[in-house]
Structure 1
Amino acid sequence: MTINHKTWALAALLSLAGTVSAHDAQKAGDQVVPNFAQAIPNIPGKSLIAVEVNYPPGGQSLPHHHANSAFIYAYVVSGSIRSQVEGHPARIYKAGESFAEEPGAHHLMGGNASTTEPAKLLAVFVVDSDDKNLTTPDK
């Protein structure tokens, strides 16, 4: 099965939005923009999906779980990102630093560590190709 880049990009954006309403997304203060999506040709059943997460000053993501198949590499493009995954202490990552999240991770906290400057994160998912729900907000 061939995966169309535009289809994956839309699926990634929609799954990252999950069940968060427009009001909640504005309150949370993050904007997710599809960047790249492609099946991995030499690893049948796996795909690579990248999204940019843009945070205004003080912007935060709502707590969420990642797909059980999703291994995530996160790279701070600009600014400073505060992040905490369940079982690990909160940490601030600065531009040029990166971190990983294990499949099924519960992301307790994520967002801009600054209240005066914007921040941008590139999140790269290695995920089962048929796993469309990459992120699910906590209830």
Structure 2
Amino acid sequence: MNRKIGLVTAGILLALSGAALGQSPGFAQGGEEVKPIFEHALPNVEGKRMVAVLVTYAPGGKSHAHHHAPSAFIYAHVLSGAVRSQVGDEPAKVYKAGEGFYEEPGSHHRVSENASDQEPASLLAVFVVDAKDNPLTTPDPK
């Protein structure tokens, strides 16, 4: 996809689909920014939709431990920098730009953070989820 067209599309979809995540874009206290960039019903899988979000971490930024919607299968692809992730009881692992990981429905995302204190990092997370399953992300109680 042409980068310029992709950025315009991302901006339009951000305006249309922010409510799907149950959170607004912008850097949170942990140093992350989440921007919805795509949402569409899957025409060949009744009751399912695909949602893509861009997660950007400031240097040293992180997400709070969280769960996703119970039906969500997620593939995350690191676009820039390096991201440390721990899903369930698996050991934490650092993924560099060009690498990816997935989360099964019902997984607990214990660690999701920038592996660098000096450079930003970003990833694209693609959800396949039940059409009415919201919010997509719920932070763990503190």
**Residue 124 of structure 2 aligns with which residue?**
122
- SS at the partner of 1:28? coil
> How many pairs align?
128
Calculate the aligned-residue CA RMSD, in Å.
1.9
| CA apart distance, 1:6 | 6.7
Aligned in 2, Cα 1:51/1:126: closer, same or farther, shift over 3 Å? same
- The correspondence of residues 38-77 of structure 1 with structure 2, limited to 5 A, is 38-77=40-79
Question: Could you list the runs of 5+ residues in structure 1 that have no partner in the other structure?
Answer: none
| CA apart distance, 1:104 | 1.3
State whether structure 2 residue 40 is matched by structure 1 residue 32. no
Aligned in 2, Cα 1:93/1:6: closer, same or farther, shift over 3 Å? closer
| CA apart distance, 1:132 | 1.6
1:8–1:38 Cα contact (<8 Å) kept: no
Aligned in 2, Cα 1:92/1:74: closer, same or farther, shift over 3 Å? same
| CA apart distance, 1:12 | 2.7
Aligned with residue 104 of structure 2, among 102, 105, 114: 102
Aligned with residue 9 of structure 1, among 17, 23, 27: 17
Rounded to whole Å, the distance in 2 between the matches of 1:11 and 1:26 is 16
Rounded to whole Å, the distance in 2 between the matches of 1:60 and 1:113 is 9
- SS at the partner of 2:113? strand
- SS at the partner of 2:18? helix
Rounded to whole Å, the distance in 2 between the matches of 1:8 and 1:76 is 24
Q: Percent identity among equivalent residues?
A: 55
Amino acid in structure 2 at the alignment position of 1:45 = G
Rounded to whole Å, the distance in 2 between the matches of 1:50 and 1:10 is 11
Question: Could you list the runs of 5+ residues in structure 2 that have no partner in the other structure?
Answer: 1-12
